[in-house]
Structure 1
Amino acid sequence: MKKNLLMILFIFMFLLGFWMAMSPAEANPWEEVQEPYLGVEQSIGSYANGCLSGGEALPLKGEGYQVIRPSRNRYYGHPNMIAYLSKLAKKTKGFGLDDLMIADISMPRGGNFTKGHSSHQTGLDADIWLSFAPEPLTKDSLESPTAVSMVDLQNYALKRDNWMKEHAILFQVAASEPEVARIFVHPVIKETLCEMAWEDRNWLRKVRPWWGHHYHMHVRLQCPEGSLNCISQNAPPAGDGCGAELISWRPKPVDETKSVVTTTKKKRVKIKPGQCEVVLTQ
């Protein structure tokens, strides 16, 4: 009798585990929404904890650019971002650059992604790949483009075979627009730009070093006028950012005599601004 009960319990636990493993993960409601919220155009909350009202879709192809991975439905932004990207692409085309490859901006109503980004929530962030498209991409190429890294990550050095003068033009034009708050790039790319001779170096202040951005640049716009609940970042430090601050990003020599202690950080639950509930559900 006891053996039978144990066998029944074992089968029950096995089936329960199998059912839990096969059950779909809890859906992210922000990713389920397919259309923008038709309210006043506003970026609400912070770049990494907010939402978007009155967002617009960037046309999938325009003068000087192509939107890649369109099936993700991440080509929505605040109207300021859509205008900025269109303006940037026209300018870079005027300088002789091939089409820009525009990647993730935001979802139709902003909000958080299940994976891939912690920011891009208010329609004010956009990724632009450092690959250019010399001709219209095929449907397959748009969905599965090849990323070209500008950095030898192991040796913390620029891949000079991949870097072109057009990249420097792209960064200068992109960062010189007044609505830009920051442009995140790998520290090696920032160092490369710092080493170049520029008549005006003011725009370099906005180019900020950040890990991971070795095959794309991440453009972040300032909070728009009228977005009273938009939370901006502090302005970057004064200067061009090419001195000691940038040097501090370089890898430190490994001291093998020191033991490394790892700690697990507790994930903080972020509560979105109250207006985001309206944006999501109405």
Structure 2
Amino acid sequence: MSEENTTTVIKEFVFVGLTSDPTLQLILFFVILAIYMTTLVENLGMIALIRATPRLQTPMYFFLSSLSFLDICYSSAFAPMALVNFIADKKSISLIGCAMQMYFSISLGSIECFLLAAMAYDRYVAICKPLLYPVLMSPRVCTFLVVGSYVLGLLHSLVHTVFTFRLSFCHSNKINHLYCDITALLSLSCSDIYINELLMFYVAGPVEATTILSVMVSYMYILTNIVRISSSAGRLKAFSTCTSHLTVVTIFHGAILILHFRPTSSNGPAFQDVSDKVLTVFYTIVIPLLNPLIYTVRNKEVKDALAGIQRKMYAKMIK
């Protein structure tokens, strides 16, 4: 590569994408479009159901509606651009657009980490300190936990975005991913990325570790308390209030750990790249689709509220 090319400042990026096959791109377009639209309907429906049902006006469902709103934002930070790139001839994004996409993808993922930890704390208080629940989980405290999750997530993302886009990108403008992933961008930089690597290790790593640890500690106390309940029916009822959240946490953090901490594939870098992209689709689009389904299938109160709304709609239709 000539010196002139290596010193050219890149002002836009081009996504390599998942495949170059036009037929497969069209199929993926319709699949992801269907998933994205279903995600919007499910999560908007969950928010509307919680707001319309008086019995669901509790801290647990306040957090759940916050999670649904977050999942809408999270999938929207990725899906629209991915859909455009599946059918566009030029799969490009401006430098500013790339920075914004990276900022929102990191911030929303971080916010969900903190929010899931706050939901674990809510379940801990509900089961281990039921008499103090109205005080410890007052509307003011719940609002503080949600707002705090957003503040921490936005600040966390701001640090990575600022230090990433202060770099010079001159090796290539082709991002070997479906979106502006931080690791893919760092591989394109001709600047020293030592500080960025430190930030990923000492900032991003602790965010994941501390939120997972807080969830684990909460559930250790919850399980200890459940074991002490004398009746089997009481134990089952106490644990049933946690299964949906525990399932969501396992899927969400499991996807993060597999995506970022799994060993290098023995099938070569090409297979590794494809698997990274597939996992990214699962992490950013499929998980927001699954979350409301998990809470609906496993939660009797949500199913009862949904049945009540359906009965009211049916009654209005036959009048």
TM-score (norm 1): 0.29
More contact order relative to length (CA 8 Å, sep ≥ 6):
2
- Of Structure 1 and Structure 2, the greater strand share is in 1
Higher relative helix content? 2
